[in-house]
Amino acid sequence: DGGITQSPKYLFRKEGQNVTLSCEQNLNHDAMYWYRQDPGQGLRLIYYSQIVNDFQKGDIAEGYSVSREKKESFPLTVTSAQKNPTAFYLCASSTAGTLSMSQHFGDGTRLSIL
């Protein structure tokens, strides 16, 4: 079955530590997205990529970094510069060229601070 896999499901970060969240898709989608979700709030866009080796900042990119070396993979690194990283992180993908079409989501990674 095609879909998006996020790992790990739960992640703990120590002070001053960088952590990387994995996102893999086998939907053959060109576009991929990372969102942050805080309790009682909607999704806020961190980074997105429309094609391999290219990505753009979203609304809250500070303290995060990404790479897009393969079509299937779009890992997100939460750096020590992100002072309030505790949140639910969602990865999504869609068919590029039709950016107004629906997005497919993974089941998220919940990041907490130790």
Per CB under 8 A, which region of 13-21, 63-71, 74-82, 99-107 contacts another protein?
Answer: 99-107
CA atoms within 13 A on the CB side of 100: 0
Binding mask 1-20 for another protein (x = CB under 8 A): ---x-x--------------
Least Å from the CB of residue 16 to another protein: 28
Q: Which is nearer to another protein, 15 or 102 (CB)?
A: 102
Among 20, 97, 107, 113, binds another protein (CB under 8 A): 107
Distances (CA, A) of 20 to 6, 95, 102, 109: 11, 25, 26, 11
Strands 10-13 and 31-37: unpaired
Tokens representing residue 58 in the block: 């979203």
Question: Which of 2, 15, 100, 114 touches another protein (CB under 8 A)?
Answer: 100
- The DSSP output letter for 70 is B
Output DSSP code: residue 53. T
User: Binding another protein by CB under 8 A: which of 56, 86, 97, 112?
Assistant: 56
Contact assessment for residue 114 and residue 13, using Cβ atoms and an 8 Å cutoff: yes
Binding residues (CB under 8 A) for another protein: these are 4, 6, 33, 35, 40-45, 48, 50, 56, 58-59, 90, 92, 99-108, 110
